[in-house]
């Protein structure tokens, strides 16, 4: 009998990771052509090349996780997530971070369908306008300094603690801040694995 992990994660096609890799390889010359083409549609092609590059980055971690399925236990699933994380480049981490909402985002805090991201920011008081204004200003300053969204594993922290962490990290080194953010993403991933398994098991 399949374990809960195997029953919900068994791939429908064992060679999906290989197919993703082959597609990325085949698209490499297309990317180069789009980037270097010199014609009237040059700007449009450069934007298309950027989109293609982002898609390639996004699929890099996905095929790594698919290749490791099915997992026989929770420990194997968590270990696979860490193995994939170890292979990611800075651009991969920044792409992942870009899909997180800002800490203190008013729409996320007040949305009833914000999902896990909304729950993880549950310590922020959506009615504290002074706090939300301070978070908004600090978020903007962080993005201007580092070029990506501030990310912190917010579960169990209140809004003031998140603001303090944001302000502290504003003084960080732009060359290495992505590593700090990546560490936070790893923690979030492990917490979300717990939530996913709770949902699967009816917890």
Domain boundaries in the chain? 1-87, 100-203
This prediction's pTM: 0.65
- The pLDDT of 59-74, averaged and rounded, is 62
So what's the pLDDT on residue 110? 78
Structural class in CATH, domain 100-203: mainly alpha
Q: How many CA atoms lie within 13 A of 164 on its CB side?
A: 5
Active site residues: 100
Cis amide linkage into residue 70, ω under 30° from 0:
yes
- Contact between 193 and 77 under an 8 Å Cβ cutoff? The reply is yes
pLDDT in tens, 5-47: 444 444 444 454 555 555 656 656 665 655 566 555 556 666 6
Interval 137-182: pLDDT, tens: 999 999 999 999 999 998 889 999 999 999 999 999 998 999 999 9
Q: 160 with 131: CB under 8 angstroms?
A: yes
- d(C-alpha 122, C-alpha 30), whole Å: 44
């Amino acid at each position: 009998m399949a374990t809960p992990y195997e029953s919900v994660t068994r791939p429908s096609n064992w060679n999906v990771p290989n197919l993703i890799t082959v597609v990325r390889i085949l698209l490499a010359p297309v990317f180069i052509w789009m980037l270097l083409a010199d014609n009237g549609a040059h700007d449009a092609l450069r934007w298309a090349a950027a989109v293609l590059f982002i898609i390639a980055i996004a699929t890099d971690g996905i095929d790594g996780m698919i290749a490791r399925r099915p997992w026989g236990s929770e420990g194997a699933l968590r270990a696979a997530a860490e193995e994939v994380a170890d292979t990611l480049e800075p651009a991969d981490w920044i792409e992942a971070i870009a899909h997180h909402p800002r800490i203190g985002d008013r729409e996320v805090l007040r949305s009833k369908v914000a999902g896990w991201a909304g729950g993880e920011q549950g310590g922020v008081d959506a009615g504290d306008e002074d706090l939300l204004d301070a978070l908004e200003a600090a978020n903007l300053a962080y993005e201007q300094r580092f070029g990506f969204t501030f990310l912190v594993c917010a579960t169990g922290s209140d809004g003031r603690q998140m603001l303090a962490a944001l302000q502290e990290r504003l003084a960080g080194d732009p060359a290495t801040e992505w590593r700090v953010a990546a560490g936070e993403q790893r923690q979030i991933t492990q917490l979300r694995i717990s939530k996913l398994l709770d949902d699967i098991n009816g917890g």
